[in-house]
Amino acid sequence: MEAGDWDRKYAGKELLWSVEPNRFVAEGLAGLPPGRALDLACGEGRNALWLASRGWRVRAVDFSSVAVSRARELDREGAVEWEVADLTRYPFPVAEEDLVLVSYLHLPPEPMRPLLADAARALAPGGTLFFVGHDLENLEHGTGGPQDPDVLHTPEAVAGALEGLEIVRAERVTRQVGERAAIDTLVVARAPGA
C-alpha cells in the first residue's frame, strides 16, 4: 500500500488500532531499562506512547501523515518525537538507539532486507531490535493481515536480515482475533557490546 492508501484508511475511523500497545511489544519490552528508542511504522503511536510512558526517549516514524497527526493528538505531553517519512528512504542513525521497534511493517523482500539491515546498524552497543509482523503461515492457517505472500514474514527471513546481531528469539506466535488465531513472526535480536 502507498502512503495515500494508509492516509485514507486512517482517516476512515477515529482510531484504526487500540490505544493499548501491541501485546507482544508490552510483554517483550516491559523489563527493558529505558533509553533511546526508534519506532518504525508507528501508525497512530500506540507502542511509542507506551514506551514514552515507561521513560523511553522515543522517535516514531510512519509514512502516513494522517496516522502521525493522530499520534500527535494522543501525545498530549509531547513525549514523543513524531516524524512523517518513507522508511525505504529514511536516514537511519548509526549506533545510537537502545531499542529499534519494527511492528507490522510489510514490504516486499527488496526493500525490506536493506531496511532491516539499516535498523540493525541503528542500534547502540547492547541495543535491542524487536520485530513483530504477520507471518507467511497466516495466509493458510491464520486470520487477517495482508494477503500478499511477498510482504509477509518468516522468523528465518527476518533473522537472516539482521547480520551482526545476536538472535535472542525467532519464532511464530499466535494471538486471538475474534474466534480465530492470527500467526505472527516475532524476532528479538541484540547488538554486541555493553
Residue 50: which residues within 8 A CB-CB, separation 6 or more? Answer: 20, 21, 25, 26
pLDDT (mean) for 46-52: 97
Measured CA to CA, the distance from residue 176 to residue 139 in angstroms comes to 15
Q: Which of 25-29, 91-95, 143-147 has the lowest mean pLDDT?
A: 143-147
| Among 21, 187, 29, CA closest to 116 | 187
Measured CA to CA, the distance from residue 86 to residue 15 in angstroms comes to 21
Q: What architecture does CATH give domain 3-190? A: 3-Layer(aba) Sandwich (3.40)
Stated pTM of the model: 0.91
Residue 13 pLDDT grade (very low, low, confident, very high; cuts 50, 70, 90): low
Measured CA to CA, the distance from residue 114 to residue 13 in angstroms comes to 33
Helical pair 3-11 and 65-74, crossing angle rounded to 10 deg: 40
Locate the domains of the chain by residue range: 3-190
Residue 124: which residues within 8 A CB-CB, separation 6 or more? Answer: 35, 36, 95, 96, 97, 98, 191, 193
